[in-house]
Structure 1
Amino acid sequence: MMFLKCAYPFVCTAVLALTGGAVLSQGEAKPGGKPLGAAGQEALGEALFFDTSLSNEGSQSCATCHDPESGFADPRRTAKGAFSLGDDGASLGNRNAPSAAYARFIPPFHRQEDGDWAGGIFWDGRAADLAEQAGGPPLNPIEMAMPDKATLVARLAENPAYLTAFEQEFGKGVLSDPDRGYDAMTKAIAAFEETPLFAPFDSKYDRYLAGKVELSTEEELGRVLFFSEQFTNCNQCHQLRQSPLDRRETFSDYSYHNIGLPPNPDVYSEAGMAADFIDEGLLANPAISDPGERGKFRTPSLRNVAVTGPYMHNGVFQDLRTVVAFYNRYNSRSDAAKINPETGKPWGRTMVPGTLSVKELTHGPALDARRIDALVAFLKTLTDARYEDQLED
């Protein structure tokens, strides 16, 4: 009997034993909320998500950069950085690994009626869906660094438990064909990422909507400000549903914007990147050739934002309050608003000034310190219940 164990006790209420076409449980239910019985794609995907054999040196799994104990973000931080360490123990990426929580709600990459782009996985939307995203890191030379699909699928085929489970879910001989086997692997991982484990909707805000708790005075002020079209610009990009009381709000419309971020010299130096490096953003998406999209990035969900820092695609901000203060700089004329509170220095140069989302950034009046604090307090209420003990006072 071959056991495929989840690497994180936080996730596992059962030991997965994929053999003979069945999952043998030591608990009553899967972490995602469905009973453990037949070895479905979700169970197979769960085993794959935590399996370090998907990386060349056997040191990393999907969960390494999307740790379920850390809001499905990467908790490994070096210097002040946000770039994930690769399987070789030396390589660093050049973007902050976004949380995989609530990612199943991101729509496919598409052009909206107004002509602007939205959706797609990764910061630049280059993956159409969760399955396509899951297929990227294993073959990326600075991530999991497998040489090719054939090598990875052959490694999976060496495991009798995988052979049984893959053939049950995707057909006989699936692991004999590299393309077919690799595609099946990505679909199984995506099926696991679509379970309620990744999107429980059980934060304090969700409990408030259900009438189970009350928000504090400060949190309520932050909520009103957040959804106000008069006093802030938050919900212009961070509201998907029409009603602010919709219980399935993901706090992103998945649109693309250039918000004028400064560079992050600490991680640039650490990753061996040039000091004048500019991330092309949406323009790096193979489907995009318009220079007018340069420097734009997909709006992330704000679910669990308080426990998944550092922030922005380059991890330039460490503190959530700094993020709100950064947005406020566009509307405030005070001297204090010109200073990054983390560095005590001016915010720094705008990397791509030509494509700034000026209309959205300058909407609304300046916020005083009390209202900034209230917005931060509200954003903390978007933290899933299992992470609430990680919140700072």
Structure 2
Amino acid sequence: MLTKHKYQNLPLNWDEGRVSDCCTSDSPDDPSCGDCCYDTWQEELKQVTKKYDQINEDSQQLSSRLGFLIDRRGRYKSWKEELDKGEELARAICYQLEIIAGQSQKIWYNSCKAAEAIRILFCMIRDFYFQVDFLKKRFDELQNCITHNHDSSLVKGKGILKCLDEYGVKLDAVIKTRDILVAAVLDAIRLSELIRNGMSTTSCPCGDDFDPCNPGAPCECKGCDDESKPVYGFRTIICEWYCAFGCNVECEPCNDNCNEEEPQEPSQQYRQSGQQQQKGYGDKKKQDNFSADDPCKCEKCELEPQFSFPICNDNYKCLVDQWFADDDSCVKKLEAELRDKTKEKEALLACKTSLQKAITEVDPKARCS
């Protein structure tokens, strides 16, 4: 063990370039207790304190800016979640409207077929009573012939005359049902037409124009271009709501609709977004709503933004998504910068504390008193 670890004397210049170089030996001519390390550390403490104050100020500013961005990001997130929730509810309504529109279309088609069938039945009943009227005419002619024949073999109430009397009674009974039956058929036609028109006043399909097993789109959103032929009915109302909610439009990405710019203040963001003539609330150029005499008097007050369905394609929804993404990116970037500043500040604080303790230890007033 002693042969492995041999102790050697320190060289005479072992502390060369170290603390001892900055310390002077006591001079009998100078009774003061001078120490050049004290002055050097004082200067270093000033530099470290200055740098620490600068870093601390930067950290506070970053922290304030980060707090503001986190709060604004939270608001954007709340708006984004509300808009997403609104889009989900709108799509749920669209799903129900699509079912109702599909079922009402089938009811409309069935009512068209029912009205057609009832008309055919009416024609059959009318033809039947035409035949009955013809039989009644021939029966009356036969009775008139028998009456004027004065044949002694034809006794009233007996033989063939009895059969003819019974036939006449039954024929009259059938004729009496005509008014009741025809009225019922006409009422059935009226009700079938009311049902059809109640569902939709669209003309019934002819031939193979409509396939009930493959009806296609539940509604056709054509707008109000064809005002000369307005369509009414329950299904029309459902389709109006269906088109108003934009149920026939799929969601599209917002990258092409929103400008990709650096994050700005909310007032600047909304001011610029309000100037963009995009879909949503900027489709049409709005006229000036202010009076020329009094520019502060608004003739027509409008609230903005005005959403258009589907919400997922609305310009304001795209802007909110972009604002949230920009603030989220800025927050992550500032958090990383703040962490670096905090580490640097803690290192400077440790250095400052060490220098303060060292200066306190070598303070000539305390050490040489």
After TM superposition, the score normalised by the length of structure 2 is 0.19
Q: Which has the higher helix share?
A: 2
Instruction: Pick the structure with greater CA Rg.
Output: 2
Q: Which has the higher strand share?
A: 1
Higher relative contact order (CA 8 A, sep 6+): 2
